């Protein structure tokens, strides 16, 4: 094996490993194990693996992440009678198509010299919205916003920007961390992280502020 071939194999192995790591982090950030803080770094390995790749190559890694994450996130469906491995594979390919499209679009934007911290969260927001509004194929479970269901300060922002806005903020945090890892646009990345900290601080003030208004009675069954 030539040195060039060994290098290509090493790069491929690294990319696959990072894509699988993102899949594992996505699974771990949702119930269960429900470690929501991992949602802020789940996309970072995949973003690092995508650097320098063509859109088609990046799409392959995104599909790999989505497919493997699907088996963990939607594993509870095996409790449904008649749901078997055939259905799981179809579901995984469908779910995996969304991060594949996102990765491809992000890789294309990077080749147009659009900063990662801009294109990655914007495309994630668009793909997230599409997945939740795809008619009878809509599948709104397993979003980045849902990894933060314990993060009450951040969730205060949902009253203003909605669930998709929260997913955007988490994707933005991932992009900022990946940018710092790549040692690119450091000032922009630090500014972004400060904005996210400010959003959390605002949420804390909202949680402890006194509210006034008409009270309602709610019954849950």
Q: Is the pLDDT of residue 1 over 80?
A: no
CA dihedral 83, 60, 114, 144 (to 10 degrees): 20
Distance CA 156, CA 171 (A): 17
- Burial state string for 33-68 with b = 16 or more CB within 10 A and e = fewer than 16: eeebebbbbbbbbbbbbbeebebebbbbbbbbbbbb
Model pTM?
0.91
| DSSP state, residue 59 | H
Q: What is the pLDDT of residues 103-151, one digit of tens each?
A: 999 999 999 999 999 999 999 999 999 999 999 999 988 999 999 999 9
Q: What is the mean pLDDT of residues 170-185?
A: 96
E strands in the chain: none
Q: Is the pLDDT of residue 212 over 80?
A: no
**Which pair of tokens denotes residue 131?**
């997945």
Q: What is the pLDDT of residue 131?
A: 95
Q: What is the pLDDT of residues 68-88, one digit of tens each?
A: 999 999 999 999 999 999 999
């Amino acid at each position: 094996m030539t040195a060039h071939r060994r290098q290509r194999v090493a790069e491929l192995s690294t990319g696959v490993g990072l894509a699988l790591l993102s899949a594992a982090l996505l699974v771990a950030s949702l119930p269960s194990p429900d470690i929501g803080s991992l949602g802020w770094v789940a996309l970072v390995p995949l973003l690092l693996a995508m650097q320098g790749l063509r859109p088609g190559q990046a799409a392959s890694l995104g599909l790999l992440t989505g497919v493997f994450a699907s088996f963990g996130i939607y594993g509870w469906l095996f409790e449904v009678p008649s749901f078997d491995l055939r259905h799981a594979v179809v579901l995984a390919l469908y779910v995996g198509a969304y991060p594949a499209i996102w990765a491809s679009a992000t890789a294309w934007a990077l080749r147009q010299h659009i900063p990662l911290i801009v294109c990655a969260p914007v495309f994630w927001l668009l793909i997230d919205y599409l997945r939740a509004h795809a008619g009878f194929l809509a599948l709104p479970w397993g979003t980045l916003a849902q990894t933060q269901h314990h993060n009450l300060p951040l969730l205060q922002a949902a009253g203003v920007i909605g669930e998709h806005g929260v997913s955007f903020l988490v994707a933005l945090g991932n992009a900022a961390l990946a940018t710092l890892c790549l040692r690119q646009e450091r000032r922009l990345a630090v500014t972004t992280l400060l904005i996210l900290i400010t959003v959390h601080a605002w949420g804390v003030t909202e949680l402890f502020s006194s509210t006034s208004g008409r009270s309602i009675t709610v019954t849950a069954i």
